[in-house]
Amino acid sequence: MWAREVFRATIVCLLVIAVAGVLRVSLAASAAEATIDAWRLRSEVKAERLTERTLEADRSVLAAPSRIEAVASQTLNMSRPVQVSYLQLPHAATPAGESIGEQETPGSGLLSALIGLAAEEAQVMLVGDVGLGSLR
């Protein structure tokens, strides 16, 4: 009877040691996997930072006024103007103290719509041609 109790105690101790060993190996494997993932993430972050620096350098080169001037002169056949002229619209005041631009006059909505449409069309044409010119 005494031998049977000793045998059971020994089996229980061995079982506890085996479970502890499996648990330790499992935790060590998880730690190793986490370390590998951390190294992989660090290398990805380094690669993305390098890409970011490259893109930032490319952006600054593309946005340089000298490059924009070169693209405008080569692709769009544009040159610097000999003389710059400005168009000034008269700013008349009404008796109530409001400017004409703030007051609804017949045709003012149409005029502002036409001016806005022309400005948008010019901007689309300029951006479109510059964008297409860099691909040629």
pLDDT digits (tens, 9 = 90+) for 68-110: 888 888 888 888 878 878 777 776 555 554 544 455 555 567 7
Q: Please, which contacts does 125-131 make with residues 24 or more away whose CB atoms are closer than 8 Å?
A: 126/76, 129/75, 129/76, 130/68, 130/71, 130/72, 130/75, 130/76
Q: Among 5-9, 12-16, 112-116, 127-131, name the one with the lowest average pLDDT.
A: 127-131
Total structural domains within the chain: 1
Residue 49 has pLDDT above 50, yes or no: yes
Mean of the per-residue pLDDT values of the chain: 80
Would residue 120 count as lying in a domain? Answer: yes
Q: How far is CA 22 from CA 14, 15, 26, in A?
A: 12, 11, 6
Domain presence at residue 69: yes
Show the domain range for 71. 65-79+109-136
- Assign 50 a pLDDT band (cuts: 50, 70, 90): very high
Would residue 95 count as lying in a domain? no
In a domain, 98, yes or no: no
Look at the alpha carbons of 26, 31, 33, 34 in this order and tell me if their dihedral is positive or negative.
Answer: positive
Measured CA to CA, the distance from residue 127 to residue 72 in angstroms comes to: 11
Helix H or strand E encompassing 95 = none
121 is a domain residue? yes
The span from the CA of 91 to the CA of 93, in Å, is 7
Q: Is residue 28 part of a domain?
A: no
